[in-house]
Amino acid sequence: MVQEKRGLGPYLTHLALAGVLNLPRILPYKMRLPVVGWFASRVIGPVAGYDKRIRNNLSLTCPDMPRDEVKRMERAVLSNAGRFLAEMWSGDDLFNRMKNTRLSGPGVAALEQAKADGRPIIATSGHFGNYDAARAVLIQSGFNTGALYRPMSNVYFNESYIKRMEGFEGKAFEQSRRGMGSMVKHLRSGGLLAILLDQREDQGAKLSFFGKPAMTTLAIAEMALKYNTLFIPVFAVRKENGVDFDVVVEDPIDHSDPETMMQEFNDRFEARVRQNMDQFLWIHNRWQLPDDA
Q: Is residue 220 part of a domain?
A: yes
Looking at residue 83, its pLDDT comes to: 95
* Residue 1 pLDDT exceeds 50: no
Averaged pLDDT, 204-216: 97
Q: Is residue 170 part of a domain?
A: yes
Do 52 and 67 belong together in one domain? yes
Question: How deeply is 226 buried, as exposed, middle or buried, from its count of CB atoms within 10 A (0-12, 13-18, 19+)?
Answer: exposed
Looking at residue 159, its pLDDT comes to: 72
Check residue 222 and report its DSSP letter: H
Do 132 and 274 belong together in one domain? yes
For the whole prediction, is pTM greater than 0.85? yes
* Residue 121 pLDDT exceeds 80: yes
Do 51 and 188 belong together in one domain? no
Question: How deeply is 238 buried, as exposed, middle or buried, from its count of CB atoms within 10 A (0-12, 13-18, 19+)?
Answer: buried
Banded pLDDT at 261 (limits 50, 70, 90): very high
Do 154 and 115 belong together in one domain? yes
pLDDT tens for each residue of 76-88: 999 999 999 899 8
- Element (H or E) spanning 232, and its range? strand 230-238
Averaged pLDDT, 229-250: 98
Do 66 and 102 belong together in one domain? no
pLDDT tens for each residue of 47-62: 889 999 999 999 999 9
CB atoms within 10 A of CB 290: 11
Do 43 and 164 belong together in one domain? no
Q: Is residue 141 part of a domain?
A: yes
Structural domain range at position 32: 8-88
270 — alpha (psi -120 to 50), left (phi > 0) or beta? Answer: alpha
Banded pLDDT at 167 (limits 50, 70, 90): low
Cβ atoms 32, 257 nearer than 8 A: no
Report which listed range, 31-45, 177-191, 258-272, is most confident: 258-272
Do 132 and 114 belong together in one domain? yes
pLDDT tens for each residue of 5-30: 666 777 777 777 777 777 888 999 99
Q: Which of these three, 88, 117, 144, is where a domain ends?
A: 88
Banded pLDDT at 3 (limits 50, 70, 90): low
* Residue 189 pLDDT exceeds 50: yes
Do 80 and 175 belong together in one domain? no
Do 84 and 138 belong together in one domain? no
Averaged pLDDT, 151-170: 68
List C-alpha distances in Å: 66 to 54, 55, 70, 84: 14, 11, 6, 27
Q: Which residue has the higher pLDDT, 67 or 155?
A: 67
Do 83 and 106 belong together in one domain? no
Looking at residue 166, its pLDDT comes to: 65
